[in-house]
A and B are shown apart, each in its own frame.
Chain A
Amino acid sequence: MFKHDLQQSFAPVTEPIKTFLNEPLPKGVGWANTLGSALLATIVIQVVTGMLLAIYYSPNAEVAYESILYIENHVLFGRAIRGVHHYAASAMVILIFLHMLRTFFWGAYKHPREMTWVLGVVLFLVVLGFAFTGYLLPWDMKAYFATKVGIHVGGVMPVLGKYIIQLMQGGSEMSTLTLSRFFALHIIVLPLVLILIVIGHIYFVRFHGPTPPGKREEELVKYSHRFFPVQLLKDSTVAFLAVVILLFLAVYYGAPLEAKADPTDTEYVPRPDWYFYALFQLLKIFEGPLEIIGAVIIPGAFFTILLLLPFIDRNPARAFAKRPVVLSLGVACTIGILALTTWGSYSGNRAKDGLVAGGAVSDSAMVSAQYDPARGETLFVGLECAGCHDAASAGDNIPPGLEFSGNKYKLAWLAGYLQHPHRVRWLKRNERPVAKMPNFDLTPQQAGDMASFLLTLRLDKKFPEVDFDFAEADSDMVISGKTLFGDYGCDGCHTIAGQGDAIGPELTRVGAKLQDDYLYHLFKNPQSIIPGTVMKDARLDDIDVEDLVAYLRTLK
């Protein structure tokens, strides 16, 4: 009796849910129609993780970066939650792109579903807005410099440009005011817009029903099965897989974080996240006075056409064969976007970008971020690094002793390595590594501190300063060194960029890792530097050694 009463009381809630679950679906609706729900799932994930991040985050340029470090290192599951938020952003872009492609190729945007499409395109723009405002928030090098590029794009507009920049920055330069307005957009304005659009979009989808491929509107078999349970199960499966993948990425890789933004850096080459590569590449292609073409005209025209697509293409046919022009244009655009994205991902000098051997921070960012060897030493002791890296095991053994690491390594390489240690280290051919360097999940700051500490460990007696400044080496020396490398059969043991054998360590980026003087002493007397090494002492004269070092130091 009571139960029955309650059923009636809650009918306003339960009845629409029933109707929702029992929605009749046309024949042909299936897996491909799950993209929209997967997108919805990622939106929910972003809302939840975003709220959590906002609890500890501070939108103030002074401490924003520190608050991120705090989330990463001191808040329970902070790293995972920030990771999920980071990768789900990428997932949203991918899903929305696939969702649009599917809608486009199936002709699902056609009458009577014009408004569903328009709302979808606006949703895409809102998602890009989220991405753009979101990656300024950590206030690291990438945040600062990639956002500068983005703001610069706003300034390309004639006449208005200057004012647009001021508006975006909240002043004449990037500052806390920029950060707080981006934050407000990211967590208040855009979410409200997003939620309204999502509700509208879903309402329109439900009203007109989903579209299976190939059929004209009047040919649709309107009712073949219901949403519940088969389609809901398919939707749930895809959403579940998406969450599993995101969790894996978040826990295993974590969200990247570079050194704290340093506006005075002169070498950092900003790269946006991958989903902006296409736009980024357009900026690079059109330079100087033509910039406006890449920055405004092409993207503007693209999105305008995209928005108006259902009104431009009024052909009711949905079968591929009957829409040759529109489909070829669509294929061309898709290929264009993919090509620009790929091209964008390759352009720019990777070594310069700081992607040296797994490190994510450029050399100058390292130095200017002011690392503290004392803090590094505390870490070194705390993590018991000396337990494995003791002087007694130095030499050909793994792990290396570190008593002269200050004479051996370069700061940026060490810091990058400490952040992401290679999980398998070189030993000897056919031998399994006996020990692996664990990943201690150091932050860029910690890795830098530790690296700067390791550089204080020196044995200057063993490594007297070489009387030659290799930075002065001319191209003749480099060429001669390269020749010598082949003449002495170095490639019989060492690989450079895929060439040569793999008995000894790979040297593809050795110049980013080892100091010039260390290489010099190693060539002069391999046994004294690495006792027991199988490296041949070729009894080289000074000139040859200098040439070889001059060559190897260019490998970065």
Chain B
Amino acid sequence: MSNPIEMNELTSRRGFFKILIVLFNGLIAAALAVPGLGYLLTPVFRKDSGAWISLGAIEKFRANTLQKATFTYVSEAGYTRAEKNGFVWLKTSAGDSPDAIAFSPVCSHTGCNVNWHASRNAFICPCHNGTYDADGNVVSGPPPRPLQKLPVKIENDQIFVQLVA
């Protein structure tokens, strides 16, 4: 070790080994991390199909009135299928070309289901008293955004709604 050249060689050998050690272990970590991340992130890249759900015949609903439209649908999550119940707030308009609008009941604040109060002509959220008007716009309270309008279509006098756009 007294010879400085030998010393130098030794350190460079050490240095090279150090690089190899980091390289090998880094590759092992990457080999686990890359597929692992992809695996974990799978749901992020998955698109929901957004199927049309039938609410039934249009004449079932009173025109120009906001009302609860309940439905049952098959929800597919990964390898399971389950029947689930759901509802939207629906207002139909009669006439030659009938039309409908549907609001998601999910409050834009933290997601409670809002209620339609006909007497006050407003949607009121039970959780923190968020209030929306009949068009779904925020009137008062904490909600940051209007209620979500859902895509609706009418075919052969049947109303369909799409839960995820």
Chain B residues with Cβ under 8 A from A236's Cβ? 20-21, 24-25
14 A-B contacts, Cβ less than 8 Å apart?
A48-B36, A52-B40, A66-B79, A80-B35, A81-B39, A229-B14, A229-B17, A229-B18, A233-B20, A233-B21, A236-B21, A243-B28, A243-B31, A243-B32
A175 within 8 A of B: no
Taking each of B27, B31, B39, which has the highest tally of chain A beta carbons within 10 Å of its own beta carbon? B39
Give, as a whole number of angstroms, the nearest-CB distance from B74 to chain A. 16
Give, as a whole number of angstroms, the nearest-CB distance from B58 to chain A. 34
In the bound complex, how far is the Cα of B40 from the Cα of A9, in angstroms?
35
In the bound complex, how far is the Cα of B17 from the Cα of A247, in angstroms?
25
Whether the pair A240, B41 counts as a contact (CB closer than 8 A) is no
Nearest B residue (CB) for A69: B79
Whether the pair B28, A77 counts as a contact (CB closer than 8 A) is no
B78 within 8 A of A: yes
Chain B residues with Cβ under 8 A from A20's Cβ? none
- The residue from B17, B32, B35, B79 contacting A233, defined by CB atoms under 8 A apart: B17
A45 within 8 A of B: yes
- B-contact 0/1 string along A122-138, CB 8 Å cutoff: 00000000000000000
Interface residues of B in 1-60 (CB under 8 A from A): 14, 17-18, 20-21, 24-25, 27-28, 31-32, 34-36, 38-42, 45
A41-B28, A66-B79, A78-B39 given; name 19 further pairs at CB < 8 Å: A45-B32, A49-B32, A49-B36, A52-B36, A58-B79, A67-B78, A67-B79, A74-B78, A75-B39, A76-B45, A77-B34, A77-B36, A229-B17, A229-B18, A233-B21, A237-B24, A239-B24, A239-B25, A243-B28
Nearest A residue (CB) for B38: A76
In the bound complex, how far is the Cα of B14 from the Cα of A45, in angstroms?
28
B80 within 8 A of A: yes
Give, as a whole number of angstroms, the nearest-CB distance from A65 to chain B. 9
Chain A residues with Cβ under 8 A from B36's Cβ? 48-49, 52, 77, 81
Taking each of A48, A55, A240, which has the highest tally of chain B beta carbons within 10 Å of its own beta carbon? A240
In the bound complex, how far is the Cα of B39 from the Cα of A80, in angstroms?
10
Interface residues of A in 34-61 (CB under 8 A from B): 41, 45, 48-49, 52, 55-56, 58
Nearest B residue (CB) for A76: B38
Whether the pair B78, A76 counts as a contact (CB closer than 8 A) is no
Whether the pair A229, B21 counts as a contact (CB closer than 8 A) is yes
Whether the pair A52, B28 counts as a contact (CB closer than 8 A) is no
In the bound complex, how far is the Cα of B22 from the Cα of A236, in angstroms?
9
Whether the pair A76, B39 counts as a contact (CB closer than 8 A) is yes
Chain B residues with Cβ under 8 A from A56's Cβ? 78
Give, as a whole number of angstroms, the nearest-CB distance from B39 to chain A. 5
Whether the pair B41, A76 counts as a contact (CB closer than 8 A) is yes
In the bound complex, how far is the Cα of B40 from the Cα of A178, in angstroms?
28
- The residue from A76, A232, A247 contacting B42, defined by CB atoms under 8 A apart: A76
Nearest B residue (CB) for A247: B31
In the bound complex, how far is the Cα of B125 from the Cα of A264, in angstroms?
54
Interface majority SS (helix, strand, loop, mixed), chain A: helix
- B-contact 0/1 string along A427-444, CB 8 Å cutoff: 000000000000000000
Give, as a whole number of angstroms, the nearest-CB distance from B43 to chain A. 9
Which 10 A-B pairs rank lowest in CB-CB distance, beginning with the nearest?
Answer: A77-B35, A229-B17, A66-B79, A76-B38, A236-B24, A240-B24, A70-B79, A76-B42, A77-B38, A77-B39
- The residue from A63, A75, A76, A232 contacting B21, defined by CB atoms under 8 A apart: A232
Chain A residues with Cβ under 8 A from B39's Cβ? 52, 55, 75-78, 81
Taking each of B24, B35, B45, B78, which has the highest tally of chain A beta carbons within 10 Å of its own beta carbon? B35
In the bound complex, how far is the Cα of B20 from the Cα of A274, in angstroms?
35
Nearest B residue (CB) for A244: B31
A11 within 8 A of B: no
Q: Knowing A75-B39, A239-B28, say if A70 contacts B17 (CB, 8 Å).
A: no
Interface residues of B in 75-118 (CB under 8 A from A): 78-80
Chain B residues with Cβ under 8 A from A479's Cβ? none
Chain A residues with Cβ under 8 A from B35's Cβ? 76-77, 80-81
Give, as a whole number of angstroms, the nearest-CB distance from A240 to chain B. 4
In the bound complex, how far is the Cα of B27 from the Cα of A49, in angstroms?
16
Nearest A residue (CB) for B25: A236
In the bound complex, how far is the Cα of B107 from the Cα of A402, in angstroms?
57
Give, as a whole number of angstroms, the nearest-CB distance from A77 to chain B. 4
Chain B residues with Cβ under 8 A from A74's Cβ? 42, 78
A230 within 8 A of B: yes
Chain A residues with Cβ under 8 A from B24's Cβ? 233, 236-237, 239-240
Whether the pair B42, A75 counts as a contact (CB closer than 8 A) is yes
In the bound complex, how far is the Cα of B18 from the Cα of A232, in angstroms?
9
Nearest B residue (CB) for A51: B36
- A-contact 0/1 string along B62-84, CB 8 Å cutoff: 00000000000000001110000
In the bound complex, how far is the Cα of B80 from the Cα of A69, in angstroms?
12
Whether the pair A240, B28 counts as a contact (CB closer than 8 A) is yes
In the bound complex, how far is the Cα of B35 from the Cα of A77, in angstroms?
6
In the bound complex, how far is the Cα of B132 from the Cα of A535, in angstroms?
83
Nearest A residue (CB) for B18: A229
In the bound complex, how far is the Cα of B36 from the Cα of A229, in angstroms?
29
Chain B residues with Cβ under 8 A from A67's Cβ? 78-79
Give, as a whole number of angstroms, the nearest-CB distance from B141 to chain A. 37
Chain B residues with Cβ under 8 A from A81's Cβ? 35-36, 39
Interface residues of A in 52-99 (CB under 8 A from B): 52, 55-56, 58, 63, 66-67, 69-70, 74-78, 80-81
In the bound complex, how far is the Cα of B97 from the Cα of A176, in angstroms?
54
Q: Knowing A76-B38, A78-B39, say if A70 contacts B45 (CB, 8 Å).
A: no
In the bound complex, how far is the Cα of B127 from the Cα of A413, in angstroms?
61
Chain B residues with Cβ under 8 A from A233's Cβ? 17, 20-21, 24
Give, as a whole number of angstroms, the nearest-CB distance from B59 to chain A. 37
Q: Knowing A67-B78, A236-B21, say if A48 contacts B32 (CB, 8 Å).
A: yes
In the bound complex, how far is the Cα of B27 from the Cα of A243, in angstroms?
9
Give, as a whole number of angstroms, the nearest-CB distance from B162 to chain A. 23
Q: Knowing A236-B20, A236-B25, say if A63 contacts B80 (CB, 8 Å).
A: yes
In the bound complex, how far is the Cα of B36 from the Cα of A70, in angstroms?
16
Chain A residues with Cβ under 8 A from B34's Cβ? 77
Chain A residues with Cβ under 8 A from B14's Cβ? 229
Chain A residues with Cβ under 8 A from B42's Cβ? 74-76, 78
Taking each of B17, B24, B38, B40, which has the highest tally of chain A beta carbons within 10 Å of its own beta carbon? B24
